[in-house]
Amino acid sequence: MIPFIQTTLDGLMVGSSYGLLALGFALIFGVMRRLNLSYGPSIMIGAYLGTLLYIKFGPPTYVVAIVAVAGSVMAGIYVERLCFAPLGVGAGVASMVSSFAIWMQLEQASLLMLPRHSYPFPSLTGGELWSLGPFVVRPDYLIMLAAMLAMSAALTLLLYRTRFGLGLRAIVENSLAASLSGIDVERTMLKAFALASAIGGVAGFLVLSANQQVTAMLGMWATLKGLIAMMIGGLGSIPGAIVGGLALGVIEAHSQNLFGPQVRDLAAYAVLFVLLVLRPGGILGTTAVRRGMGQRGGDRWTTT
């Protein structure tokens, strides 16, 4: 029983990093109904800028964190301006393909900064372990868990208690009606995109400091994990992103424990596929989401 609980705990801890990544993804997806493949590579730009600073000058860790977040916000704005703002409604595939093109750019830019496969990254806790009775936890993952819960609470307050949040929700429901009500749709979307990138930047920083290194796989990893976690939990929903992230972490930990490390990712994809087919809205998805998706005029995904 104790190993089972320990594995679940491990999964929850890693899952909090997925949940953080999924929060940013859910925000972009919830507002734009578009798939941003460049989400991870934007995070990568920030992380690489922070790392570059770290290995060149060795500044305090909080400076690295600020640079990492600022870098991913800048990259996120770049992505939004080029891929999502100019291509009008109805061009879901076109913006997805464009965001893939930007992915290649951002990854290349990162590798031009730091060409080796991996670099050290400052740790917040020195990687120590805490014992809680028979269980072992890592404080850096507890920080991540706390950050995830705090950010989702803040995001919920932002969406339901502020004017900006009201505008965003109005755009999600009907962007024409929102603009006729005086909401500047383009600016609000850009702000949401920047905010999502900032959340991604925080997620990236915390993950890398837990790993104490940054690798060239970061971009792809962050996009895929964030996307899967968001999809498992529920499209564009904040509690869904958290539940999805934690669920993904637990699924991975247990399948690794049962079948070995090779099967870990395979199991995650298999669960995602089955879940999408059986319950397209995700665990916390509502029928409203399902109705709104892919229906006539609602979510056009082709350019024909």
Partner 1 sequence: MEAMLEIADVVTAYGKIEALKGVSLSAAKGRITCLLGPNGAGKTTLMMSIAGALKPRQGSIRLEGSELVGLSPARIVGNGVALVPENRLVFPQMSVRENLLAGAYQRNDSGEVTADIERMYARFPRLKERREQLAGTLSGGEQQMLAVARALMSRPRLLLMDEPSLGLAPIVVKEIFGIIAELNREGVTIFLVEQNAHLALQVAHHFYLMEQGRVTFSGNPGELAEDEVIKRAYLGTRRSAG
Partner 2 sequence: MDFYLGLAQIVGVHTLLGLSAYCVLLTGQVSLAQAGFFAIGAYVAAMLTVLAGWHIVPAIAAASFVAGATACAVSFPALRVKGLMLVVATLAFGEAVRLFFFNFDYQVAKGEVKIGPAGGEGFRQIRFFPENGWSTLDVLIFIWLFVALVMAGLWWMDRSRAGAVLRAVGEDEVAAQSAGINVTAVKVAAMTVGGFIAGLGGGIFAHYTAHIEHAQFGVALATFAIAYPILGGLSSVFGTLIAVVFVQGFLIEGLRFLGDWRNLLFGGLILLAMNVRPRGLIDAATIAAVKRMRTSNKEPGNARTQGAE
Interface ranges with partner 1 (CB under 8 A): 163, 166-167, 169-170, 173-174, 176-186, 288
Which entry of partner 1, partner 2, none binds 114, CB below 5 to 8 A by partner kind?
A: none
- Do 237 and 26 touch, CB atoms closer than 8 A? yes
- Of 13, 28, 272, 284, which one interacts with partner 2 (CB under 8 A)? 272
Which entry of partner 1, partner 2, none binds 54, CB below 5 to 8 A by partner kind?
A: none
Which entry of partner 2, partner 1, none binds 102, CB below 5 to 8 A by partner kind?
A: partner 2
Nearest approach in angstroms of CB 173 to partner 2 is: 18
Tell me if 104 contacts partner 2 by CB under 8 A.
yes
Distance set, CA 90 to CA 35, 87, 93, 220, 242 (Å): 13, 8, 9, 26, 29
Encoding tokens for residue 179? Answer: 């603009």
Residue among 108 and 162 whose Cβ is closer to partner 2: 108
Nearest approach in angstroms of CB 167 to partner 1 is: 6
> Which helix H or strand E contains 243, and what residues bound it?
helix 238-259
**Within positions 219 to 248, which residues make up the interface with partner 2, using CB under 8 A?**
220, 224, 227-228, 231, 235
> Which helix H or strand E contains 215, and what residues bound it?
strand 213-215
- Do 134 and 2 touch, CB atoms closer than 8 A? yes
Nearest approach in angstroms of CB 168 to partner 1 is: 11
Nearest approach in angstroms of CB 183 to partner 1 is: 5
Tell me if 276 contacts partner 2 by CB under 8 A.
yes
Nearest approach in angstroms of CB 299 to partner 2 is: 5
The residue written with tokens 């509502």 in the block is: 286
Encoding tokens for residue 98? Answer: 């464009």
Tell me if 266 contacts partner 2 by CB under 8 A.
yes
DSSP labels, 60-114: -HHHHHHHHHHHHHHHHHHHIIIIISSS-TT-HHHHHHHHHHHHHHHHHHHHHH-
